[in-house]
Amino acid sequence: MSSDTAPSWQADIDRLSEQLSEAISGADDLEALRAVELAALGRKGSLTALMKRIGTLDKDERKAFGSASGGLRGRVTKSLNERRETIRRQGVLAELSDSSFDETVPGRSSELGHVHPLNRVQMEAEDVFVSMGFEVLDYPEVESEFNNFEALNIPSWHPARDMQDTFWLESGQLLRTHTSAGQVRAMHALKAPFRAIFPGKVYRYEATDASHEHTFHQLEGLMIDRHVSVGHLLDSMRTLLSAILRREVTVRLRPGYFPFVEPGFELDISCQVCEGTGCSVCKQSGWVELLPCGLVHPNVLRAGGLDPEHWQGWAFGLGLSRLVMMRYGIDDIRLLLGGDARFVEGFHPGT
Ligand code: DAH
């Protein structure tokens, strides 16, 4: 292109191109290069400003300007990247040629992490329930008194409150004492019929020992349908236990009282830690309460907005922490959340 036919912006593009390539090759370290990059391509950069000029040009000149300035931008980006690579490589070479560098020193190997046994068992239990058509829900640990007690047929005067010593918050809310607090939440959130589980941490204000902890894990299950039976409930429980414990376990069902189910049951399993002979985990009885359950009380259905004339449900509150202890033969619940890394390191992937 001869100089008298060259468009007026061509010279500016050429000048900027020259300036930038000089600045890029003159940058000796990554910081300086970054400064060059910002000065060219940043919001107020020289190339950015040049490219904005397109708005001031005639329609027929825009195409030529767009391709010339875009081409420059492409070249600049490329040389920035190349320069960055060169600087990095030079850095490594300099380090290697430093006489204090000893390439025979062994490298640092990174340690493989471990999934906490509670999380592992929870994930496996979730898989089992998902395969049976359950949804997995997550509910808050800070709860209202209504969801945790009232809606579950446990008014303030009810003696059942004494069984769940509670951490109260100044706001009048509480740390949920059981995952059952999610039951009415689920009834309001999902359209019946539904099946859902909601695992999580629960809190009790109580003295700790080998089988009691102020913070532990439960997994609540709730199935709502037109007709449900204890048979469905037991079959789901058995499917879960054999999947998690990977062996046939002896279970026993006995009546249990919980204000939010009628009838209510305790499903116990023979203690897997001592194989039924008696230890601190099973309080020398050979049995461990693992799965309290029952048919949802009509008052709870009402609190969840469901008409007990049309809907029924069953629920269970699996002691997830206890199940983990049974699976791995852990004899003290306090180890689970004790924060000792050596404990978790004992659980290798695949165990
Ligand atoms: N929420 C009860 C507790 O922590 C356990 C429980 C009992 C849950 C019976 C249930 C149930 O869903 O049906 O002591």
Q: Encoding tokens for residue 132?
A: 């049976």
Same domain, 264 and 299: yes
Q: Which of 287, 333, 294 is nearest to 317 (CA)?
A: 294
Place of tokens 């000149």: 61
Q: Are 270 and 286 in contact (CB under 8 A)?
A: yes
- pLDDT at residue 348 tops 90: no
Answer yes or no: do 85 and 177 share one domain: no
Does the C-beta of 261 come closer than 6 Å to ligand 1? yes
Q: Are residues 74 and 173 in the same domain?
A: no
- 87-112 pLDDT per residue, tens: 999 988 888 888 888 888 888 888 77
Domain extent, residue 19, equals: 10-97
In this structure, are residues 290 and 267 in contact, taking their beta carbons and an 8 Å threshold?
Answer: yes
Distance 258 CA to ligand 1 centre (A): 7
Regarding whether 310 and 164 lie in a shared domain, the answer is yes
Is the pLDDT at 1 greater than 60? The verdict is no
Same domain, 93 and 124: no
Ligand 1: does its nearest atom lie under 6 Å from the Cβ of 292? yes
Residue 36 lies in a domain: yes
Instruction: For ligand 1, pick from 134, 240, 293, 314 the residue to mutate: most ligand atoms within 8 Å of CB.
Output: 293
Same domain, 61 and 183: no
Distance of alpha carbon 95 from the chain centroid: 41
| Residue 64 reports pLDDT greater than 50 | yes
Q: What's 136's domain CATH number?
A: 3.30.930.10
Helix (H, G, I), strand (E, B) or coil at 143: strand
Q: Rounded to the nearest whole angstrom, what is the distance from the C-alpha of residue 261 to the centroid of ligand 1? A: 8
- Which has the minimum average pLDDT: 160-164, 302-306, 334-338? 160-164
- Residues 191 and 270 reside in one and the same domain: yes
pLDDT tens-place string over residues 303-336 = 999 999 999 999 999 999 999 998 998 989 999 9
Does 218 map to a domain?
A: yes
Contacts of 317 (CB under 8 A, 6+ apart): 178, 179, 180, 218, 219, 220, 291, 292, 293
Tens of pLDDT along 19-61?
999 999 999 999 999 999 999 999 999 999 999 998 898 888 8
The token pair that represents 330 in the structure block: 């852990």
Which atom of ligand 1 lies nearest, measured to the CA of 180? 1
CA of residue 81 to ligand 1 center, whole Å: 61
In a shared domain, residues 164 and 63 = no
* Per-residue pLDDT at 2 exceeds 50: no
Q: How far is the CA of 315 from the centre of ligand 1 (A)?
A: 8
Q: What is the rounded distance in angstroms from the CA atom of residue 57 to the CA atom of residue 65? A: 9
Q: What are the backbone dihedrals phi and psi of residue 203, each rounded to the nearest 5 degrees, phi first? A: -135, 140
Average pLDDT over all residues of the chain: 92
User: What is residue 323's three-state secondary structure?
Assistant: helix
Q: Is the CB of 316 under 6 A from ligand 1?
A: yes
Regarding the beta carbon of 220 and ligand 1, being less than 6 Å apart is answered: yes
CB 311 within 8 A of CB 228: no
Predicted local confidence at residue 4, as pLDDT: 57
Last residue of a domain, one of 97, 126, 156: 97
The C-alpha atoms of residue 164 and residue 174 are separated, in whole angstroms, by: 12
Whether residues 180 and 327 share a domain: the answer is yes
pLDDT value of position 103? 81
- Among 114-123, 154-163, 308-317, the least confident range: 154-163
The fraction of the chain above a pLDDT of 70, given in percent, is 98
Same domain, 125 and 72: no
Q: What is the per-residue pLDDT across 223-274, written as a single tens digit (0 to 9) for each?
A: 999 999 999 898 889 889 988 988 888 889 999 999 999 999 999 988 888 8
Same domain, 86 and 130: no
Residue with tokens 């998902």: 130
